[in-house]
A and B are shown apart, each in its own frame.
Chain A
Amino acid sequence: MQLILESLFNGLAIGSVLLIAALGLAIVFGLMGVINLAHGELMMLGAYSTYVTQLIFKLPALKPFYNSYIIVSLLVAFLVSSIVGILLEKSIIRRLYGNPLETLLATWGVSLILQQFVRSVPLAYGSGFIITVFTGLIVPLIIPEHLISNKSKRYIKSGIWSISVLIGILTANYLSTTISKLGRASARNVDVTAPAWMRGGIDILGITFPVTRLVIIVITIIAVISVTVFLNRSVWGMRIRAVTQNRSMSECLGISSEKVDILTFGIGSGLAGIAGVAVSLLGSVGPNVGSSYIVGCFMVVVLGGVGNLLGTIIASFSIGIMTDLIGAGRLLTIWPEMPSSLASTVNFFATTSMARVLIFALIVAFLQFRPAGLFPQKGRMVEG
């Protein structure tokens, strides 16, 4: 009983990291048909945002609130990743809709640039840049419509942008002078330290549940629920679903597909940022942190069936449980008197490296029976 529970928890823990990382990808891929190879790098940006937030919360003025920085960083990471995602959509991906293979190559190029960016540009300037874009994008939305007459629109816009640039430069300067760690570019991995309340574990039934893992599971659950509610209950969610089903018909009905695209991509990217927060709690934060997750995420999406959140959820938890069962050699513990020939095979795969090999083989085998994943999209096209 204890064994099953522990295995289940471990599987849940591994699976929830996979799920939160794959969730944004599933949305972008499933709803827009866009393969975003820079998804891992958006996660990395989320992780770096956590790091920057943590350092800011160490400043004397914010020190008393240090324990809650993780909640703030969830918001920051979501915003940072979605801003970068929106920029990406507006500048590159928009030109490539309908060409998934080209998108794949272009986003790979973006991922290389982002990786090198965090290596060669001090984080303070990166933060300044993000703040510039953020204010530049958000202020026009806040200003009441009637203040911007058609005539002065141009001047107001350029005015807003120049103020945003100024704010960005000032922030960058402030950060690089007050926090020396942000003022220098470094290829070195950095570390996010969880606040004290998140360290350690809780003992239930003789098993220790690490608090960090529990927090990640909770974050994942909240993210999944909010995404589901947003897509199924809100107006914009309805518009997104409409555009996914029939773009030209939705446009005829007055839905701005351009806005829908930006929104969908922004949400998907923002979820990557939240995944980045989760990942930063588990390991170190470095330029390569995202790329180690990306292939696993794609496997989740393919196994789950594209455009199906339930499939994504089931796929990530089954991969998680399988990883733990195979990788930790639990089969041998569950069934100690296994015949020796079988036992040696199980032992051969009972390392983390070989577990990955076996899991992939199982996924390919599974796709032989269900080529479109667990929950295939139903359609009447020739090519489903």
Chain B
Amino acid sequence: MSIAKRLFLGLSSVALGTSLTACGGSNQESTCLDCDDEITVGILHSLSGTMAISESTLVDTEKMAIEEINAAGGVEVAGKKYEIKYIVEDGASDWPTFAEKSKKLIDQDKVPVVFGGWTSASRKAMLPVYESKDAFLYYPIQYEAQECSRNIFYTGATPNQQSEPATEFMYKRSPAAGKPFFLVGSDYVFPRTSNTITKEQLKSLGGNVVGEDYLPLGNTEVAPIISKIKKALPNGGVIINTLNGDQNVAFFKQIQDVGITPSNGYYVMSYSIAEEEISTIGPEFLKGHYGAWNYMMSIDTSASKKFAQSFKKRWGNDRVVADPQESAYNMVYLWKAAVEKAGTFEDNAVRKALVGVKFDAPQGPVEVMPNHHLSQTVRIGQITSNGQFNILESSNGPIKPQAWNQFEPTSKGFACDWTNSRKGERYRL
């Protein structure tokens, strides 16, 4: 084997690599025919690495929302119609990369807004960038709150819009009402903080937490956790599940095998399992367990059906929509409404205009609150064998978001209001 052959081998492996992905670039053809100008926004999600699985669905949804807006005439600011263009950056499931790419979008591409993030860790990494550069990030995922940045707009649920009603439901009205709780999560900030809140809430409700455990990210050996659950909950009970992505698959497959099932009195309430995850894990493993979201695909309104249908039409008939995607969809439209209201793309004016903007979202009406979060409807559903939620309860209209949790002692009694310069990020109620 000569050196030339070796070199050829190496080169061809590189060439193979590039040619395989050469078709992956995005081509944005003009969709807005009567637009006068263009405005470029940033989209920043993980397209590679472990989070790509989840975050790529958000990129799809955001692209769809932008295309819809463009097709309907673009964004009209100060009498001029702008067509929205986008730059997609890859956060690579790596928190420092999210910060780096944010800097790039702000400093180099000078985008007026960035839609991005999924994990709390990525948001926390990006936050100082947006604060120090006074830019604006739209973040679409339900999260643990305890944060209220002037430079972030949160369109996902806060705990009082997801986990708190869910815990209350499980403790008071589920078939396992009054039984002890076990908390399972992946080892990162959202599960840890969310479970701290759940523990405080159960304390005030009089419930009993018999154990909690965290699985390191990337580890799928759930056997020790399952034996802990069996030991702690011998006669059934409630399991609050905040596991991440593929760890859920291992968890649900294996708890069923050892008899931790609804028919034996064990009910799992999951905060990260939406329609997308149900189809991956398989409904036969999840049937009878619960989930809590603002949007569920089974919502029987025309707005919800239209959202699901246009997504399927754009990205394939076997695709599903879920809450995080709905939040991502909403935030693009809310941004459009805010810049149109402000009449400029300038950050501070948009920030001011944003508060009070209303939108008829697929989940129902939502409104931007002074704390940069959304008022949203809360729904609790039981997973059915066709991979959808059977909506058991839904809140009476939208619930106002609480950026600072009212069960956790350190944040109790605080709130956030960006419309009042004396109140700001954290003030005492």
- The answer to whether A and B touch directly, with their CB atoms under 8 angstroms apart, is yes
Q: Which A residues touch B219, using CB under 8 A?
A: 292, 352-353, 356
- Please tell me if the beta carbons of B56 and A282 are within 8 angstroms of each other in the complex: no
Interface pair B227/A17, CB less than 8 Å apart: no
Residue of A nearest to B218 (CB): A292
Query: Which of the segments A22-30, A266-274, A327-335, A368-376 contacts the partner chain?
Result: A327-335
- B228 sits at the interface (CB 8 A): yes
- The chain B residue with its CB closest to the CB of A323 is B224
Q: Is B258 an interface residue (CB 8 A)?
A: yes
In the complex, which residues of chain A have a beta carbon less than 8 angstroms from the beta carbon of B213? 351-352
A43 to chain B, nearest CB (A): 12
Interface string of A324-361 (1 = CB under 8 A from B): 10011110010000000000000000011101100000
Which A residues are in CB contact (< 8 Å) with B257? Answer: 199-201, 208, 210-213
Q: How far is the CA of A6 from the CA of B228 in the complex (A)?
A: 12
On whether the beta carbons of B224 and A10 are closer than 8 Å, the reply is yes
Q: Are B220 and A191 in contact (CB under 8 A)?
A: no
Question: Is A299 an interface residue when CB atoms closer than 8 A count as contact?
Answer: no
B249 touches A113 (CB 8 A): no
Chain B hits for A191, CB < 8 A: 249, 280-282
Q: Name A13's closest neighbour in chain B (CB-CB).
A: B223
Q: Quick check: A10 and B223 within 8 Å, CB to CB?
A: yes
- Given A327-B224, A328-B227, A353-B214, does the pair A187, B52 have CB atoms closer than 8 Å? yes
Can you name the residue of chain B whose Cβ is closest to the Cβ of A109? B13
A356 touches B223 (CB 8 A): no
Residue in B50, B221, B249, B254 whose CB lies within 8 Å of A352: B221
Shortest CB distance B310–A (Å) = 19
A152 at the interface (CB under 8 A from B): no
Closest partner residue, chain B, to A325 (CB atom): B224
Residues B253 and A324 in contact, CB atoms below 8 Å apart: no
As a 0/1 sequence over residues 150 to 175 of chain B, the CB contacts with chain A under 8 angstroms (1 = contact) are: 00000000000000000000000000
CA distance A31 to B259 in the complex (A): 43
Within B23-51, the residues touching A (CB, 8 Å) are 24, 48, 50
Interface size class of A (residues with CB under 8 A): 35 or more
Q: Answer whether residue B245 sits at the interface, using C-beta atoms and an 8 A cutoff.
A: yes
Q: Most chain-A CB neighbours within 10 Å: which of B53, B223, B231, B318?
A: B223
Q: In the assembly, what is the distance between CA of A187 and CA of B52, in Å?
A: 7
* Residues of A close to B204: CB separation below 8 A: none
- In the complex, whether A190 has a CB less than 8 A from a CB of chain B is yes
Cα A187 to Cα B187 with chains together (Å): 23
Query: Contacts A113-B17, A352-B216 given: A323-B221 contact, CB under 8 Å?
Result: yes
Of A72-80, A167-175, A283-291, the one contacting chain B is A283-291
Determine which of B6, B20, B224, B228 lies in contact with A120 in the assembled complex, contact meaning CB atoms within 8 Å: B20
Q: Report how far A208 CA is from B256 CA in the complex, Å.
A: 11
Q: In the complex the two chains form, what is the Cα distance from A286 to B225 in whole Å?
A: 22
Interchain CB contact under 8 A, B214 and A282: no
Q: Which of B250, B253, B256 has the most CB of A within 10 A?
A: B253
Query: In the complex, what's the smallest C-beta–C-beta distance from A164 to chain B, in angstroms?
Result: 19
Q: A184: CB under 8 A from chain B?
A: yes
Contact B284 A284 (CB under 8 A): no
Contact of A113 among B13, B52, B256, B316 (CB under 8 A): B13
Interface code B185-226, partner A: CB below 8 Å = 1, 0 otherwise? 001000000000000000000000000011110111101110
- Is B9's beta carbon under 8 Å from chain A? yes
For residues 123 through 156 of chain B, which have their beta carbon under 8 Å from a beta carbon of chain A? none
Separation of A329 and B256 alpha carbons in the complex (Å): 22
Which residues, 246 to 278 on B, are CB-close (under 8 Å) to A? 246-247, 249-250, 253-254, 256-259
* Binary CB contact string for chain B from 223 to 248 against chain A (1 if under 8 A, 0 otherwise): 11101100100000000000001110
- Cα–Cα, bound, A378→B245 (Å): 46
| B392 at the binding interface (Cβ < 8 Å) | no
Of A113, A210, A281, A352, most B-chain CB atoms within 10 Å: A352
Q: Closest Cβ of chain B: how far from A129's Cβ, in Å?
A: 12
Given A113-B17, A188-B280: A199 touches B256 (CB 8 Å cut-off):
yes
Contact B282–A193 (Cβ < 8 Å): yes
Q: Is A91's CB within 8 Å of the partner chain B?
A: yes
Instruction: Name A's B-contacting residues (CB within 8 A).
Output: 6, 10, 13-14, 17, 91-92, 95, 113, 116-117, 119-121, 180-181, 184, 187-191, 193-194, 199-201, 208, 210-213, 281-284, 286, 288-289, 291-292, 323-324, 327-330, 333, 351-353, 355-356
Some 17 contacts from A to B, beta carbons below 8 A apart, are A6-B227, A13-B223, A180-B318, A181-B318, A189-B53, A191-B249, A199-B256, A200-B259, A201-B259, A208-B257, A210-B254, A282-B253, A289-B220, A328-B227, A351-B214, A352-B221, A353-B187
A-B residue pairs, 8 tightest by C-beta: A210-B257, A283-B250, A284-B249, A327-B224, A328-B224, A284-B246, A353-B216, A283-B220
Residue numbers of B with Cβ under 8 A of A are 1, 6, 9, 13, 17, 20-21, 24, 48, 50, 52-53, 56, 187, 213-216, 218-221, 223-225, 227-228, 231, 245-247, 249-250, 253-254, 256-259, 280-282, 284, 316, 318
